[in-house]
Amino acid sequence: MFQIKWLWKNLEGYRAVYICALIMTVIRQSMYIITPHYSSRIVDEYIYGEAAAENLAANPKGLIWLVAAMIGFTVLRTIITYTSGLCYEKASQGIVYRVRNHLFANVQRQDSEFFDKNRTGDLMTRISGDLDMVRHTIAWIIKAILECIVLYTASVFFFFSIDWLMALCMMALTPVIFAITMRLRKVMGPKYVVQREKLSGLNTAAEENISGNRVVKAFAREDFEQDKFDKLNKEYSDANKTTSLTWLKYYPFIEITAQGLAVVQLLAGGLFVIGGRITVGEYTAFSGLIWTMSNPMRMLGSIINDLERFVASLNKIIEIYYASPLITDRADAAEHPERLRGEIEFKNVSFSYDKKNPVLKSISFKIAPGETVAIMGPTGSGKTTLVNMISRTYDPDEGRILADGIDLRMMKLHELRRNIGEAQQDVLLFSDTIEGNIAFGRSDMPEEEVYKFAGLAAADGFIKETSDGYDTIIGERGVGLSGGQKQRISLARALAVRPAVLILDDTTSAVDMETERYIQNSLENLDFECTKIIIAQRISSAKNADKIIILKDGKIADIGTHKELTEREGYYKEVYDLQK
C-alpha cells in the first residue's frame, strides 16, 4: 500500500492523464464481451438456430448490422487502446522525470557522510535501472492488473447472464491459480533483492575500473581486474538464472491450469449443449471468451513476478528519495548576504568519523582577515579534515568554528560556501572545456576574467598550447592533463569566485619550484581581500605565511612563523633541515 501511495504522490501533474488512461482501460476491457455477444446472436439467429433460414430471408440487413457492429466496436476498441497507451506513456515518463530530478537534487544536498556510505555504482543503479522499473510499473504492471481484473470480472458476469452452472465450471480452476501465484510471490521477493544487489556491485566495479583505468594500466592489473569483474558478472548472472529458473519452476503449473479451462469448456459445454441447457450460440460465446479467463490467470504469475522486482527497486529508490543530510541549514540560521571579512576561529574543536577514534582533538586557533596561514604535519594528522570543516563538509563533535565571529552552524550553507574557494588535493575536473572548468563557480564570468585567473594560476601558458586553447574539451576527471596542469586549473577555478577564504590543499605539490614561486607571488598580489589557508608539504609553500600551524596526532603541536619554528626543535625544523 505504501508503494501505491508513493506512486500517487509523485504522479502529481499527471494524475488526470493517468486516471483517463485507467478509465479507458476499463472501457476497453469491458468491450471484449461485446464481440462474443454478437457472434452468439449471429450463430443462433442466422446460422444454427431453428429459425435461422427464415431470419436470414426475412431480415438480411440484421445480419449485416450485427457484423458491422462487431467491426465498429473492434475499431473503437483499437482507438481506445492507442489513446490509453499514449496516456500511460506520458504519465510514466512524467513520474520518472520528476523522481529522477528529485533523486539527483537530493543526492546533491547530501553531506560527505552519505557518500562515504554509498557507492557511486549503487547510486547510479538507483537513478537509472531502478527508476526504469518504476516507469514499467506505471505503464504496464498497474495497467495489466486492471486489465486482468476488469476482463475476468466482465467475463464472469457475462457467463452468469448466460448460464450460472457453466459459469461456475469455468471458474473452478481460479482458486488453484491464485494459490500458485501467492506461493510464487513469497518465493520470488527475496531473490529479486539479491539480484538487484548483485547488479549494484557489478555497476560499482565497472565504474571504479573505468575511473581508475590509469592506475590499472600502471600496475599492469588488467587481467586481475578482468577476473574480478568476471566473478561479479558471474554472480549477477547466477542470480538472474536462479530467479528465472524459480519462475520457470512455477510457470508450467500456471500454464497447465490456465489451459485446463479449454478442457472444462469442451467437456462441460459439450454436455450442456447436448442436454439442451445452452444453445450452440451460447456455447460459441463461451468459446470466444475462454481466453478472457485463461489470460488473466496466465498473466497473474508474470504480474506477481514484476511486482516483486518493482518492490525491490522501489525500496532502494526510497532510501535516497527520503534521505536527509545531517548538515543542513538550521531553522534559526540568520541571513548574511554580505561578503565575509575572512576571520576564522576554531574553539576547542574535536571530531571523529566513526565517533570512536578522534581525528581532531581540542583544536583552537584564530586567523585574522587577510592572513595567510599554512598547515603542516605528518600524514594522517588531520590537516585535510580540519580545512574541510571550514566549509561544513563535516561538523565538529565538540567545540565551535566561527567565521567573522559567527558560528558556522548559524549561517546558511549557501552563503557560507559562496565565500569559500577550494583547490583540493584530489583534483576533479569535469568533461567540459577548460574555460568551462575555470568558470564553474561563476558561469556568467566574462572571458577576460577567465584568462586573468588562469594567468594568476600559471595556467595560461599551457592552455594556449592545447589544441583549441580555452575551448579544448578535457577528458573525464581531467584525463589528458598532467597532475600539475590539473592543479593549476583547479587553483584558477578557486580564485575565479573571488573568495573571502581561499583553501589550498597541497595545491602546488605537482608543479616545479619556479611555477610555485610564480603562483605564490600571484596569491600575495590579488586584487581582492582574501584569507588564505594552505596545506603544505614543502617548506617553500609555507615559509612566507603569516602563521604556520603544525598538527600531530590530531592536536596542534606548534604555531609560529617560519623564523620562529626553525629556531626550535620540532616537526617543522626536521622538515626544513631535510629540504634545505
d(CA 299, CA 93): 24
Closest CA to 268 of 151, 171, 154, 156: 171
DSSP code for 473 = B
Out of 104-113, 214-223, 371-380, least confident range: 214-223
Q: Provide the whole-model pTM.
A: 0.72
Strand 501-505 and strand 531-535: the pairing is parallel
Statement: residue 478 has pLDDT above 60? no
Higher pLDDT, 246 or 389: 389
Statement: residue 11 has pLDDT above 80? yes
Bridge partners (DSSP) of residue 505 are: 535
Coil, helix or strand at residue 411: strand
CA atoms within 13 A on the CB side of 299: 18
With b meaning 16 or more CB within 10 Å and e meaning fewer, what string describes 242-266? ebeeebeebbebbeebbebbeebbe
- Domain ranges across the chain: 2-321, 344-579
CATH hierarchy code of domain 2-321: 1.20.1560.10
DSSP code for 389 = G
8 A C-beta contact, residue 455 and residue 467: no
Q: Read out DSSP for 241-264?
A: HHHHHHHHHHHHHHHHHHHHHHHH
pLDDT band at 1 (very low <50, low <70, confident <90, very high): low
Within 8 A by CB and 6+ apart from 466, the residues are 434, 472
Cell digits for 2? 505504501
Mean pLDDT of 185-197: 75
8 A C-beta contact, residue 474 and residue 481: yes
Statement: residue 238 has pLDDT above 60? yes
| pLDDT of res. 56 | 66
Out of 401-415, 467-481, 538-552, least confident range: 467-481
State the DSSP H helix or E strand holding residue 561, giving kind and residue range, or none if neither.
none
| pLDDT of res. 50 | 65
The fold of the 344-579 domain, in CATH, is Rossmann fold (3.40.50)
d(CA 3, CA 552): 51
Contacts 24+ apart (CB under 8 A), 180-183: 180/250, 180/253, 180/254, 180/257, 180/301, 181/254, 181/300, 181/301, 181/304, 183/250
First-residue to last-residue Cα distance in the chain: 71
From residue 443, alpha-carbon distances to 98, 344, 437 in Å are 25, 28, 9
In three state form, how does the secondary structure of 419-452 look? CEEEECCCCCCCCCEHHHHHCCCCCCCCHHHHHH
In three state form, how does the secondary structure of 113-173 look? HHHHHCCHHHHHHHHHHHHHHHHHHHHHHHHHHHHHHHHHHHHHHHHHHHCHHHHHHHHCC
pLDDT band at 344 (very low <50, low <70, confident <90, very high): very high
Statement: residue 479 has pLDDT above 90? no
| pLDDT of res. 341 | 92
Q: Output the CA torsion 89→90→94→95 (10° steps).
A: -50
Q: What share of the chain is helix, strand, coil (3-state, %, to 5)?
A: 65, 10, 25
8 A C-beta contact, residue 95 and residue 134: yes
| pLDDT of res. 575 | 84
CB atoms closer than 10 angstroms to residue 546 = 15
Out of 38-42, 200-204, 323-327, least confident range: 38-42
Mean pLDDT of 538-553: 89
Spacing of C-alpha 70 from chain mean position = 48
With b meaning 16 or more CB within 10 Å and e meaning fewer, what string describes 298-324? bbbbbbbbbbbbbbbbbebbeebeeee
Cell digits for 16? 488526470
Q: Tell me the per-residue pLDDT of 397-422, one tens digit each, with 9 for 90 and over.
A: 999 999 999 999 999 988 998 999 98
Strand 531-535 and strand 547-552: the pairing is unpaired
